[in-house]
Chains A and B, each alone.
Chain A
Amino acid sequence: MVKVTETMNLLSTEWEIERLPFPRPDDKTVDRRNGSHRTPPPIESQNYLNTQQAMLDQGVSKVQLTDLRVRFGEREILHGINARFIDQRITALIGPTGCGKTTLLRTLNRLNELVPGFHVEGRVELDGMDIYRDVRDVRDVRRRIGMLFQRPNPFPQSIEENIAIGLRAHHIVPRGEVHDEVERQLTEVGLWEAVKDKLSESPFGLSGGQQQLLCLARTLAVRPEVILLDEPTSSLDPVSTQRVEDLLVALKSRVSIVMVTHNVQQAARISDYIVFLYEGRVVEANTATEIFVNARNKVTEDFLTGRMG
């Protein structure tokens, strides 16, 4: 048995698929590695349903996408996405730059609706409820599906207000308890000690990593069920990155996490599932181990081994 930490080390250096140590100790999909999967099927992911079945074996799907198509104006960016994001698991969304990862993520909390020309077809279901058709209160959808952005984006308000605003807007706690709840949320992301003496100060004086943690606390404060992250650590230093990753792993017990990352090693470190997106299509979706060990598509393999952007 290989320990997880060693897996990470190996993944972060040069490696080949064949020599990948596996399985990860907590993984139950060990026995599904067999030779018949080795020939990569064509891009049009016929194997998709099989891998979906594999994903479903592992848990309840929290968000489900059915034939999701997204256009900006005349240009179709996502060409019929089918995917499931499992509850209490981390799904990494990977793929080359421009393949539509951000677009997909922003479609999941209806944020793309702010973009002129945005047009969506197909279904995005949260617990079986279509968030585009069955929902009257889009604000509550956005509360339930939180988002952390590529760069920290605190509000131009005091550090305390950054958290309190969401608490009040969604009536998370009674007014009198807002302050205590702010403390609780900041403690949860490990920021309390650093900011407890400057709660009324601007968040822009904090380091980038601290700002991103503040944004995470702000998101978590409104009790989301799903968290979307768009390359959340791409602007952070290694220590802050580590901190965010640890937090995400710890958060798994409460939420379903969908994380876009351009960092394959990060995906390997913390994700349970991987959805590989290529030119607006899902090419492959499976457990992380299976993808890394047993990529079924040549494009996936090329991407993972760094032969493609």
Chain B
Amino acid sequence: MATHLEKLSTPGRKDIPVEAGEEFGILDRVLRFLGLAGAIIPTAAVLFIAAVLLVSALPSILFNGLGFLYHQSWNFGNFYSSATVTHNGIQAPTGASYGALPIIIGTLLTSIIAFVIGVPIAVGSALILVEKVPPPLRRTLSFFLELLAGIPSVVYGLWGLIVLGPFLAGHIYPILARLGAIIPWLGPPVGSGLGLLTAGLILAVMIIPIVASTTRDLLSQVPVLPREGAVALGLTSWESVRLVSLPWVFSGIVGASILGWGRALGETMAVLIVSGNGANFLPQNIYSPVSTIAATIVALLDSAESDPTGLAVSALAEAGLILMLITLATNILARLMVRRVSSTSLPIGRGV
């Protein structure tokens, strides 16, 4: 025991009990392990999910080839006939063909509409909240903003189906359709109010609270000093927002927007309800029924499971894989964009 003590205590620090030192050591190791685990788990989870998707999608990838990306018709074939076809070593029910183009386009278009409408509104309302609204009112409005983020998507979907869709089809879309003479995609027919634009609008409403509350938090943390510098130079408050605050938090807003974009891409229930379920064809105009990858997976998964060859599920997995790749690609794109901008103007990593 004595030798053990001697070995561990360092010269000049004999007053520190070895036991305490060991406890620290254990705690330290536990913390370090937790930190490491925290760093590894998200990465591992992403890789694991991607791997599982890839494995499940493999039969579909082999069977469909690149055609999956540009064919328009999605057909499971006849599950109940004993006749099957084989292509690239993959067995499929007769008549099976998988073309994901409409749902890829549907996913991208609904998300783009949501992004283009939602992000400016979100950033604008965050700006107004921070810059123009007195603090007590700001707290109230912020509360409702956060409430908006907490509404379940199926409720948004129902509201879209019962209220928003019919209202838009009855009152707004006919007016918008007159612009069809100038912008072809806006032309009639306006349909039932369930379709691309309605889905995009619902998605916009869903991403606004995410983007707005993040942007609001970012804006309220812009340092006072450069803002006052702008005012002291005789700039207007709008100029100081545009030239100082917004650039200051630009990368953060991009991050928040990408979160919103990711939410729009992956949103399932609300889109399923209000998109008009336009499978197997490309949208004709902005009111056309569409479907998205996420909505299609949910809508078709049940019946896909009765495919004896298993290819139907595999095809849905491939669609999921594509959705994941789209999300990943936009994330990387945003990151590159932020890096390019921040290298020229943003005070990242450099103190004032």
- Listed in ascending order, the chain A residues whose CB lies under 8 Å from chain B are 109, 111, 114, 139-143, 146-147, 149, 151-158, 165-166, 169-170, 200-202, 204-205, 208, 211, 215, 218-219, 222
Whether A222 touches B231, Cβ cut-off 8 Å, given contacts A152-B352, A156-B244, A202-B347, is no
User: Which residue of the partner chain, among B228, B344, B346, contacts A153 with CB atoms under 8 Å?
Assistant: B228
Interface assignment of B233: CB less than 8 Å from any CB of chain A: yes
A149 to B345, CA, bound (A): 21
**Are the C-beta atoms of A143 and B230 separated by less than 8 Å?**
no
Chain A interface: which of B19-27, B58-66, B115-123, B235-243?
A: B235-243
Interface pair B233/A219, CB less than 8 Å apart: yes
Q: Measured between alpha carbons, how far is A165 from B232 in the docked complex, in Å?
A: 13
Which chain A positions have C-beta within 8 A of B248? 156
Per-position 1/0 for B239-270, Cβ under 8 A of A: 10001100110000000000000000000000
Residues of A within 8 A of B223 (CB): 153
Seed contacts A154-B352, A204-B351; 5 additional CB < 8 Å A-B pairs: A142-B232, A146-B233, A166-B233, A201-B344, A202-B345
Chain A residues within 8 Å of B244, by CB = 155-156
Residue B226 at the chain A interface, CB threshold 8 Å: yes
By beta carbon, the residue of chain A nearest B247 is: A156
Q: 10 tightest CB-CB pairs across the interface, nearest first?
A: A142-B234, A143-B234, A147-B232, A153-B229, A139-B234, A153-B225, A204-B350, A156-B247, A204-B347, A153-B226
Contact A156 B345, CB 8 Å, known A111-B228, A204-B350, A204-B352:
yes
Interchain CB contact under 8 A, B230 and A202: no
Minimum CB–CB distance from B152 to chain A (whole Å) comes to 39
- Closest Cβ of chain A: how far from B169's Cβ, in Å? 45
- Across the interface, name the chain A residue whose C-beta is closest to B233: A166
The smallest C-beta distance from A122 to any residue of chain B, in angstroms, reads 21
State the Cβ distance, B39 to closest chain A Cβ, in Å. Answer: 29
Q: Is the CB–CB distance between A153 and B234 below 8 Å? A: no
Inter-subunit contact A215/B229 (CB<8 Å)? yes
13 of the cross-chain contacts (CB-CB < 8 Å) are A109-B232, A111-B231, A139-B236, A141-B234, A142-B234, A154-B226, A157-B247, A158-B345, A165-B239, A200-B344, A202-B343, A208-B352, A222-B234
Q: Which of A109, A140, A152, A155 has the most chain B CB atoms inside 10 A of its CB?
A: A155
Contact A211:B344 (CB < 8 A) given known A149-B225, A166-B233, A219-B233: no
Contact A142 B352, beta carbon cutoff 8 Å: no
Chain B residue numbers with a CB within 8 Å of A111 are 228, 231-232
Is A202 touching B344 in the complex (CB atoms < 8 A)? yes
User: Which residues of B approach A to under 8 Å, CB–CB?
Assistant: 223, 225-226, 228-236, 239, 243-244, 247-248, 343-347, 350-352
| A169 and B229 in contact, given A204-B347, A204-B350 (Cβ under 8 angstroms) | no
B229 touches A156 (CB 8 A): no
> A206's closest neighbor in chain B, by CB?
B350
> Which residue of B229, B234, B344, B351 is within 8 Å of A170 (Cβ)?
B234
Which of A146, A147, A158, A211 is B352 in contact with, Cβ under 8 Å? A211
Choose from A114, A143, A152, A169 the contact partner of B228 (Cβ within 8 Å): A114
**Given that A156-B345, A157-B247, A211-B352 are known contacts, is A114 also in contact with B233, CB under 8 Å in the complex?**
no
B239 to chain A, nearest CB (A): 6
**Inter-chain contacts of A165 with B (CB < 8 A):** 233, 235, 239, 243
Q: How far is the CA of A202 from the CA of B234 in the complex (A)?
A: 22
Q: Roughly how many angstroms separate A92 CA and B230 CA in the complex, as a whole number? A: 24
CA distance A156 to B351 in the complex (A): 12
Q: A111-B228, A205-B350 are in contact. Are A155 and B243 (CB under 8 A)?
A: yes
Q: A169 to B231: give the CA distance in the assembly, Å.
A: 12
* Closest residue on chain A to residue B346 by CB atoms: A156
A202 to B239, CA, bound (A): 19
| Residues of chain A with a CB closer than 8 A to B350's CB | 202, 204-205
Determine the distance from Cα of A207 to Cα of B319 in the docked complex, in whole angstroms.
52
Max chain B CB contacts within 10 Å: which of A141, A169, A170, A219? A169
Whole-angstrom distance from the CB of B318 to the nearest CB of chain A?
Answer: 44
Q: Contacts A149-B228, A153-B226, A156-B226 hold; do A142 and B233 have CB atoms under 8 A apart?
A: yes
Answer whether A166 and B234 are a contact pair too, CB < 8 Å, given A156-B226, A204-B352, A205-B350.
yes
Q: In the complex, which residues of chain B have a beta carbon less than 8 angstroms from the beta carbon of A219?
A: 232-233
Minimal Cβ-Cβ distance residue in A for B350: A204
Residues of A within 8 A of B351 (CB): 204
**Contact between chains at B235 and A169 (CB < 8 Å):** yes
- Of A141, A155, A204, A222, which one neighbours B229 at CB under 8 angstroms? A155
CB-defined contacts of B346 to chain A, threshold 8 Å: 156, 202, 204
- Cα–Cα, bound, A217→B351 (Å): 20
Residues of A within 8 A of B347 (CB): 156, 202, 204
Tell me the smallest distance from the CB of B344 to a CB of chain A, in Å. 6
Min distance, Cβ B237 to any Cβ of chain A, angstroms = 9
| Chain B residue at minimum C-beta to C-beta distance from A201 | B344
Of A140, A155, A158, which one neighbours B230 at CB under 8 angstroms?
A155
